[in-house]
Amino acid sequence: MGCRQLVLALLAAAAVLPAIAVAKEFVVGDEAGWKLGVNYTEWADGKKFRVGDALVFSYDPKHHNVMKVSGNDFKDCNTSANTSPPLDSGNDTIILSTAGRKWYICGVGKHCVSGMKVFIDVVGDTEAPAPSPGQGQGSSGAGRLTFLPFPAAAMVVAAIFLVVIF
């Protein structure tokens, strides 16, 4: 009877484990936030952004905003081609829902030209992150749990089961 209860407990754990999170929340600029005088290229180097992670832009909305732009507009700091309104709450969270390169700039005055811009590479669940040119050590950003992919949850349950049985 004890073995049957154990199996039922493990099955219940397997049902719950997919809700355990592994996605991360990255505060852009870490403690400095989104403002002038921060090297966002250096901030992004070494970080592994995955689909499901979140970028949090924390800033003074009286002086800054956040615009998602194309690669060319990022390079040229062009805000006029942007078709969506800028984010301007001062605490904006962007869920990284697709893989690929993402570009963000501040659209206020000459802030982008002064370096207030960041680009990241987002990888999917099955992709290995591509190393950035000049990849260096950086802080990992604030971690927040979100979702554990089912195969990983199944492996955890199997490991627990094997440890308990043997």
Instruction: Note the pLDDT tens digit of each residue in 137-151.
Output: 333 444 444 444 555
Specify the higher pLDDT residue, 160 or 103: 103
pLDDT at 56 over 80: yes
pLDDT at 160 over 90: no
Q: What global pTM score does this model have? A: 0.66
pLDDT at 2 over 80: no
pLDDT at 163 over 60: no
What is the average per-residue pLDDT within 83-90?
94
Mean pLDDT across the chain: 80
Local confidence band at 114 (pLDDT 50, 70, 90 cut-offs): very high
**Percent of the chain at pLDDT exceeding 90:** 58
What distance in Å separates the CA atoms of residue 93 and residue 89, rounded to the nearest whole number?
Answer: 10
Q: Within a 10 A sphere around the Cβ of 41, how many other Cβ atoms?
A: 15
What distance in Å separates the CA atoms of residue 11 and residue 34, rounded to the nearest whole number?
Answer: 44
Residues near 65 by beta carbon (within 8 Å), at least 6 away in sequence: 59, 86, 87, 88, 106, 107, 108
Name the least confident of 15-24, 39-48, 99-108, 111-120. 15-24
Helix H or strand E segment including 153: helix 150-165
pLDDT at 135 over 70: no
What per-residue confidence (pLDDT) applies to 144?
40
CATH of 21-147, one of 3.30.540.10, 2.60.40.420, 3.40.50.720, 3.50.50.60: 2.60.40.420
Nearest to 32 by CA among 115, 149, 130: 115
Name the least confident of 7-11, 29-33, 82-86, 112-116. 7-11
